Amino acid sequence: MKKYLLALTLLAIAIITGCKKTAVESVVTDDLSVTPAVAYNVTDKFVPGELLIKFKTGTSEKSRIQTLAFINGKVSQHLLTNAMQYAGDNDGIYLVKTDTDVFAAIARMKGESEIEYAEPNWIYTHATTTNDTYFTNGQLWGMYSSSSPAGSGDPVNQYGSQANTAWAKGHTGSSNVYVGVIDEGAMYNHVDLADNFGNPNEIAGNNTDDDGNGKVDDVNGWDFVNNDNTTYDAGGDDHGTHVSGTIGGKAGNEVGVAGINWNVKIISAKFLGTSGGTTANAILAVDYLTGLKTNPNVAKRLNIVATNNSWGGGGYSSGLSAAIERANTAGILFIAAAGNGNQGGKAINIDSKPSYPASYTNANVIAVAAINSTGGIASWSNYGKTSVDIGAPGVGIISTVPGGYSSYSGTSMATPHVTGACALYASTYFATKGVYPTAAQIKAAILDVATPTASLSGKCVTGGRLNVSGF
């Protein structure tokens, strides 16, 4: 454990300093494919000495132990989530520690008939590129429209999400619509967020798992980094707080910002810590939210329409793809940042060089590129005619951070505009039709009305930017 923490600490130092010598090994490309179609990138980071292994159904414990002995592997965690079991998988995934080289161990495991898959425990980091100086009110361009709604006197920006046009029609979201933020934690008691967080099936502070999901007092979500119910830990969590404010910052309270939704409920699934997050915890985070929507123990399950995923890194993971598919089955969209270049910051075409999780091909994924306030695609925003779906405001975005507000840039900031759009569409659709739209209907609604944008032409599926004016 100490060794593991040391490795993560060194990684954090490496990320901060940009130092090339990291404790986390890089991977040589080409000869070690996860699947025939996918190769690891040289810059992909993973936890040294750890593998995620799924055994084929019916493999006995004795047989598992014998197989793991080939790599001197010891099970350190059995990942068996409610969402897996509801989906009929009672075997789960094993996080295995080995003193063998991870890729040699994977190659060895792949030769065994008991193994369904074996893969690295990738490390993901969030997708902000810059942290600009503080901005005051009135510069929230991502929420503006091409023209000022009648009588509003609102500022105008044609490249904004057009959210204030929807608001002018009284479409401001609903507290019956839920969104999961898979990220760092968030300062849920921030003045602009306090009304828009919470799991109503869980009673705070009674040391009881009221909703029977295996998590005690998870009123605002769960912290998979520290395995506790304090999703906000002072000193960090600014990225998760920023993302949350764009989705659901409280409006009309004369302070700070307004989110795409004035009313919504956000649940944190915290898996990014100061050193990033792992595949194992990403799977747990995705499944946690799926479990809240499919929990058979409560009368009123949480109506989660989408998760926000402003993070990336690593290579393909069968385990994470399967978790995203369980979310898909539960009708939860997975909104993913296209990513900010390939480590060095230069944008890449992820059609030819996949960036995960944006590049997963599950039907519920919407991958988002970033545009600036004059309509250009950000110089660092990844793109891809088939792998990226849409552009959204991602440069100079003001939102909530612990203790106030700040302006950030990144595909991290573009993504919550789209996640917020999912929730807004769901709430308006319900208000007019009396039923909630399916995930496929929400995705189609968002992609169908994208505004054609020169800088995005040929760079994403829609060739356009987010436009929620009709939501």
In angstroms, the CA 266 to CA 259 distance is 12
The smaller minimum CB distance to Ca ion, of residues 119 and 217, is found at 217
Q: Give the number of other CB atoms < 10 A from CB of residue 209.
A: 15
Q: Does residue 307 sit in helix, strand or coil?
A: strand
Q: Describe the chain by its helix, strand, coil percentages, rounded to 5.
A: 25, 25, 50
Q: Is 296 exposed, middle or buried (0-12, 13-18, 19+ CB in 10 A)?
A: exposed
Give 194's DSSP letter. G
The smaller minimum CB distance to Ca ion, of residues 115 and 280, is found at 280
173 with 424: CB under 8 angstroms? yes
At 456, give phi and psi (nearest 5°).
-105, -5
User: Shortest distance, CB of residue 199 to Ca ion, whole angstroms?
Assistant: 7
DSSP assignment string, 374-429: TSPBPTT--B-TTT--EEEE-SSEEEEETTEEEEEEEHHHHHHHHHHHHHHHHHHH
134 with 437: CB under 8 angstroms? no
Give 38's DSSP letter. B
DSSP assignment string, 265-289: EEEEEE--BTTBEEHHHHHHHHHHH
Tokens of residue 100, six digits: 């063998």
Contacts of 65 (CB under 8 A, 6+ apart): none
The smaller minimum CB distance to Ca ion, of residues 404 and 458, is found at 404
User: Shortest distance, CB of residue 210 to Ca ion, whole angstroms?
Assistant: 4
- Catalytically active residues are 183, 239, 412
The smaller minimum CB distance to Ca ion, of residues 267 and 337, is found at 267
In angstroms, the CA 308 to CA 417 distance is 10
User: Shortest distance, CB of residue 237 to Ca ion, whole angstroms?
Assistant: 9
User: Shortest distance, CB of residue 293 to Ca ion, whole angstroms?
Assistant: 14
The smaller minimum CB distance to Ca ion, of residues 44 and 210, is found at 210
Contacts of 104 (CB under 8 A, 6+ apart): 71
User: Shortest distance, CB of residue 31 to Ca ion, whole angstroms?
Assistant: 40
The angle, 0 to 180 degrees and rounded to 10, between the axes of the packed helices 238-248 and 411-433 is 30
Instruction: Report the interface residues with Ca ion, using CB under 5 A.
Output: 192, 202-203, 206, 208-211, 213, 215, 217-218, 223, 226, 228, 230, 233, 250, 253, 256
Q: Give the number of other CB atoms < 10 A from CB of residue 332.
A: 26
User: Shortest distance, CB of residue 294 to Ca ion, whole angstroms?
Assistant: 14
In angstroms, the CA 45 to CA 373 distance is 33
The smaller minimum CB distance to Ca ion, of residues 108 and 270, is found at 270
User: Shortest distance, CB of residue 267 to Ca ion, whole angstroms?
Assistant: 11
User: Shortest distance, CB of residue 278 to Ca ion, whole angstroms?
Assistant: 16
